[in-house]
Structure 1
Amino acid sequence: MFNLGNFLSLSTFGESHGIAYGGIITNFPAGLEIDSDKVQHQLDRRKPGQSAIVTQRKESDTVKFLSGIFEGKSTGTPIGFLIENENQKSKDYDHIAKSYRPSHADFTYDQKFGIRDYRGGGKSSARETVNWVVAGSLAKQLLPKNVEINAYVSSVGEIFCEKPYQDLDFTKIDSNEIRCPDAETAEKMISKIKEIKKEGNTIGGTITCVIKNLPIGIGEPVFGKLQAELGKAMLNINACKGFEYGSGFCGAKMTGKDHNDLFNKNFTTKTNLSGGIQGGISNGMDIYFRVAFKPIATILQPQQSFDTEENPIIVEGRGRHDPCVLPRAVPIVENLAAFVLADLFLINQLRKF
C-alpha cells in the first residue's frame, strides 16, 4: 500500500537527500477556495531549524502547487505539489554507506530492496512527512469550518503535563518551542531535552490530539472504523510506537459499570471514556487520542553494530539530528488527523447520494 486514504487519496515521492519531495492528491472536491498561506503555515511549524531543541538543517520547505488549483480554487483534478530540498549535506552519511545503524531502517531496506539510499535514510527519513503536512492542511479546508484539531506535547520522558486537556488553552501551544500549552511543564520539558542533547543522546514522549465539533456519523463499520483509520495514520509516522484513544490502556483496568458513558437527555454523554467514538463512528463528543514516540535512533555516541559483510564495527551519528521528535511531530499529527477526517467525511457525504 503506497497511498494514504480510501477515497481522498495521497501518493508521494522523494528522498531526504534527493532533489525534492512531492505528492498527488486525488478526489479532492472541485470549487473549494484554497488558502495557500494556511498550508505554508503548517509547513513552517514542521520545518527544521526552528529552535535549539530540533535539528539545525535549514530548509524553507516552500510548497509549489503544480496542478489542481486555479485562481485560488480547487478544480477537481489531481492536486500536484512539490517541496524542493535545499540544504542536504550528504557527506555527513558517507561513513555509514556500508554500516547498519541500530534501530534504523538500514538493514530492513537493504534486505527488502537489495539497495538503499544511506543519505539521511532516503525514503525512510522523517522528511517524508513534509508531504503529509501539505495534504492534511489542504484536507482540513474541506471540513466544516467549526471542526477544531489541536495536538500538543503531553510528555517528554518522565515529565508529564498533568492537566486534563479541558483545562488547557490551545492558543498557547505554539507559545514555546516544545509546543506544550502548560508553561510550567513546557519549561521542564525543554530543560530535559537540552540536557539530553548535550549528552549526544535522544529522548521520546507523547503527543495528545483533541478533535472538537466533528459531525456525528463519521467513520465506517467493520474495516473503516474512525479510530482504526486514525491509528493507522499515526502509526505510519516515523518513530511512532503506540496509539490509544479515549480511555486507552487505562480502560483495560476498569469494569463496565465504571467505563460506560451514560447518556444525557440530549444524547451527549456524562463521561467520554469512549473518546468520542462508538462502534467506530463519531458520536458528537470530543475525540481525543495519544501517540507515543520513541527516542530518535540516531545518537551522537558510539554504538556497536555490524557492516554489510557482518564485520563488527562502531557507529556514531554525525551531522544534524533532532534530539527529540516531538515539537516537529505536533503539526504532523494534526494534519494527518485532518486528512483521515476529510477522507471519511467525503465517504459519508457520498452515502447521501
Structure 2
Amino acid sequence: MPGSSYGECFKVTTFGESHGEAVGVIVDGVTPGIEIDESYIQVQMDRRKPGQSSVTTPRKEYDEIHIMSGMFEGKTTGTPLFIVLYNKDMKPSAYDDIKDAFRPGHADYTYLQKYGIRDHRGSGRASGRETAGRVAAGAVARKLLEHRGVQVVAYTKAIGGIQCETYDESIIEKNPVRACDPVAAEKMVQKIEHLASIGDSCGGIVECRIRGLKPGIGEPVFDKLDAELAKAMLSIGAVKGIEFGAGFAAAEMQGSEHNDPMDRNGFKSNNAGGIIGGISTGDEIVFRIAVKPTSSISVPQQTINVKGEEQEIVTIGRHDPCICPRVVPVVEAMACIVLEDQLKRQAALHDRGFAFESEFE
C-alpha cells in the first residue's frame, strides 16, 4: 500500500501484519557481488525479536529469515532481495473481546477512518511487528556501510525519567534495556518490571551515533540528511520526537555558544550533531528520539466503539511494558537504510555508477 516504501536508490518496501501469515521486506538497489549470509542478518533480527527478557513481550517469535531472491552462491545479484519471516506465535483470539473498540494510543480509529476497514488483530499493519522487515533491510544496508567504514550505534539513554549518567558502549548489549550506563540500567529494569506488574507502561529516549561518514553526504533543501533521518525515525510507530546535536537546548543558547568553531583540524565542537545545511560535516552524527509509553496496557481506560458508544477498555495480551530496548535495533536499521540511500545518491551525482569497485572507493 502507499506509504510502505522508503528510498530512491536503495529502496525498501515492508509487508505483512502482526497476526498474519508472515512479515518481511523487499530491498531494491542492493550493490551486486556483496557476500551476505543469512546468519549476518539473523544477528540483527535476534536483537529485535520478542521474548528476550523480563522487560519485553513474552510473545515467542524466532524471527528466522528466509531469503527468497536476490542472492546466488552467497552473493547479492543486484536484483531485488525478497526476505520473509513467518509468524509462528499468533494469538488473534486475545483481541476478540475488544475488536470493535478503539484502544487509546493505538491506530485503531485512524486506520478505520482512512481505509474504512482495519485488522484488529494486534494492530495489523500498525503493529511494531512490521519493523522486523526494516531490521532485515537495515542489516543489508549495514553490510554495505561496513565497506565504507561507517558505523551506526544506538542505545537507551533514558527510561521512565531515569537518565544514563555515564557512557560505556561495551555494556549496551549486556543489559536487557540496552542502556549505556550499568547503574542506570538496573534502575530502569526495576522501573519497567514494577509498571508491568500493575499493568502500566513507560517511554524513554534512544540516542544514535553515526561514525565514519565522510563530509558532503545529504541532498540540499527538501532531502537534507537530517530531514531524511528524521522522517525515517518518525516513521517508527512509537517515536514522537527527534533532536540533533544540541537539539532543543539550542533554543536557549546564543549564537556564540551554539556555532561550531573550526580550525585547521576541523570542528572544535559538535552542537550541529554532524550535519550543517542538511549535509554531513564528517563529524560524528548524533541524534535522540523520544519513544512514547506502550499503548497496550491493562489499566482500565475510557474509549468508544465503532458505533460511537462510550465504554471502558482493558487491553489484554502480550505487550512490551517499555519499547525502548527493542526500538534500539530498529533505529540503527533505519539509520543504515537512510545512509545507504544517500550514499548511492551521492555516487550518482558524480556519475560513478553503482559498481562495487567504484562505489566503495
TM-score range, shorter chain: over 0.9
For residues 334 and 259 of structure 2, the distance between their equivalents in structure 1, rounded to whole angstroms, comes to: 29
For residues 171 and 183 of structure 1, the distance between their equivalents in structure 2, rounded to whole angstroms, comes to: 10
Q: CA contact under 8 A between 1:8 and 1:26: conserved in structure 2?
A: yes
Q: Deviation at 1:226? A: 0.6
CA offsets, 1:87-131, max 9 Å, x none?
000110001111111121111111111111100010010100000
Counterpart of 1:86, as a letter, is K
Q: Deviation at 1:217? A: 1.2
Residue 112 of structure 2 aligns to a residue whose secondary structure is helix
The alignment-based identity, stated in percent, is 47
Q: Which portions of structure 1, spanning 4 or more consecutive aligned residues, are displaced by more than 3 angstroms? A: none
TM-score between the two structures when normalised by the length of structure 1: 0.97
Q: Which residue of 1 aligns with 2:263?
A: 264
For residues 307 and 69 of structure 2, the distance between their equivalents in structure 1, rounded to whole angstroms, comes to: 46
Q: Which residue of 2 aligns with 1:310?
A: 308
**Alignment match of 2:160 (pick from 157, 160, 169):** 157
Q: Deviation at 1:238? A: 1.1
Q: Which residue of 2 aligns with 1:322?
A: 320
For residues 2 and 102 of structure 1, the distance between their equivalents in structure 2, rounded to whole angstroms, comes to: 24
Q: Which residue of 1 aligns with 2:212?
A: 213
Q: Deviation at 1:9? A: 0.5
Deviates more, 1:152-161 or 1:139-148: 139-148
**RMSD of the alignment, in Å?**
1.0
For residues 290 and 68 of structure 2, the distance between their equivalents in structure 1, rounded to whole angstroms, comes to: 35
Counterpart of 1:330, as a letter, is V
For residues 182 and 12 of structure 1, the distance between their equivalents in structure 2, rounded to whole angstroms, comes to: 34
For residues 172 and 151 of structure 1, the distance between their equivalents in structure 2, rounded to whole angstroms, comes to: 12
Counterpart of 2:209, as a letter, is V
Q: Which residue of 2 aligns with 1:92?
A: 94
Q: Which residue of 1 aligns with 2:275?
A: 277
Q: How does 1:1-353 map to 2 (within 5 A)?
A: 1-143=3-145, 144-163=147-166, 168-266=167-265, 268-353=266-351
Q: CA contact under 8 A between 1:15 and 1:122: conserved in structure 2?
A: yes
Q: Deviation at 1:62? A: 0.5
Q: CA contact under 8 A between 2:165 and 2:181: conserved in structure 1?
A: no
CA offsets, 1:26-70, max 9 Å, x none?
111111111422210000000000001110000010010011111
Counterpart of 2:162, as a letter, is I
TM-score between the two structures when normalised by the length of structure 2: 0.95
For residues 46 and 307 of structure 2, the distance between their equivalents in structure 1, rounded to whole angstroms, comes to: 41
Q: CA contact under 8 A between 1:216 and 1:281: conserved in structure 2?
A: yes
Residue 262 of structure 2 aligns to a residue whose secondary structure is coil
For residues 37 and 179 of structure 2, the distance between their equivalents in structure 1, rounded to whole angstroms, comes to: 27
Length, aligned pairs only? 348
Q: Deviation at 1:264? A: 2.0
For residues 198 and 40 of structure 1, the distance between their equivalents in structure 2, rounded to whole angstroms, comes to: 32
Q: CA contact under 8 A between 1:175 and 1:181: conserved in structure 2?
A: no
Residue 14 of structure 2 aligns to a residue whose secondary structure is strand
CA offsets, 1:277-299, max 9 Å, x none?
11111111000000101101111
Residue 98 of structure 1 aligns to a residue whose secondary structure is coil
For residues 117 and 271 of structure 1, the distance between their equivalents in structure 2, rounded to whole angstroms, comes to: 49
Unmatched segments (≥5 aa) in structure 1: none
Q: CA contact under 8 A between 1:218 and 1:282: conserved in structure 2?
A: yes
For residues 109 and 117 of structure 2, the distance between their equivalents in structure 1, rounded to whole angstroms, comes to: 10
Q: Deviation at 1:310? A: 1.2
Q: Deviation at 1:145? A: 4.6
For residues 218 and 171 of structure 1, the distance between their equivalents in structure 2, rounded to whole angstroms, comes to: 29
Unmatched segments (≥5 aa) in structure 2: 352-361
Counterpart of 2:59, as a letter, is R
Q: CA contact under 8 A between 1:300 and 1:318: conserved in structure 2?
A: yes
